[in-house]
Amino acid sequence: MKSLLVSAIGCFLSSCSPFRVIDLVVSKHGYAVDKNVVYGHHNNKLDVYQPIGDTKQRAVLVFVYGGSWRSGRPFSGKKEYYRFVGRTFALRGYTTVIPDYRVYPEVKFPTFIEDLAQSVKWAHDNLKEREDSKIILIGHSAGAHITALLALNSNYLEGVGLSKKSLGGWIGISGPYAFNPLKISYIKNIFETVEDEVDQARPITFVNSDIAPGFLLHGSNDRIVAPRNSTELLKALKAVGAPISYQSFDLGHFDIVLSLGVANVGDIGVQNAILDFIENL
């Protein structure tokens, strides 16, 4: 924690992302990583975290970070900032893909979702060692919004030549599933492409029963994305008999995702709940 505090002070003075601080103190040992692998049609890049040693490849995980679908904000995402996630899952025997994707102002909705569909296609084509191994999507915040749309709206995966059966499961952490993006000033421009049909940007619009098993997590102290987003999606999915579960934690918007591998931050229960879900698919 002392090294984290020193790094945080340095980050504050240099105006870097707070997530950069985390990366500076995450161990680089115990796993292998292949960085900056090109995927898709637009030269996006991803990092692949691999377990070391003889492991049974039960699933390939694709982690989608958040960042308000845009660049230039303090919490805007970069794949390099989430090594703590890759490390945690690699140490548990799971190959984990963390892709970068284009965001506003370079692109608007739904281009970033189409980019992530390409990353799933890459993982499917390059990392599935066995026919019965599963691809599991995990997303936080804006990344959870993208993850839910990929899981619920089959058009995105079908657009890259995959079917909804390509997913073995999906996990959404603190996602805005039931919001209206056109009513939020700092992201309104990102979603103006669907101004006349905003429901296309709302995961709750695409609720159906024929989906991969899902798991929603949310912090009860979240002041950025209201927990009702998860509970409303949960209720809607349960109403149609979809395979979905939910767990709430006494956490906020960021410490819930930092629980996935940052020592002494958040709640280890988050990590355990996600691993239990994956291992029981």
What are the DSSP calls for 140-169, one per residue? ETHHHHHHHHHHH-THHHHTTT--GGGEEE
Note the pTM of the prediction, 2 decimals: 0.92
Q: According to the CATH classification, is domain 28-279 in 3.40.50.1820?
A: yes
Please list the rounded mean pLDDT of every run of 10 residues in the chain (281 residues): 42 50 75 96 95 78 96 78 94 95 97 98 85 87 98 97 93 98 95 96 97 98 97 98 98 95 90 96 91
Cα distances from 15 to residues 23, 122, 220, in angstroms, run 15, 34, 29
Residue 28 is predicted with a pLDDT of 82
Domains of the chain: which residue ranges? 28-279
Residue 132 is predicted with a pLDDT of 64
How crowded is residue 262: how many other Cβ atoms within 10 Å of its Cβ? 18
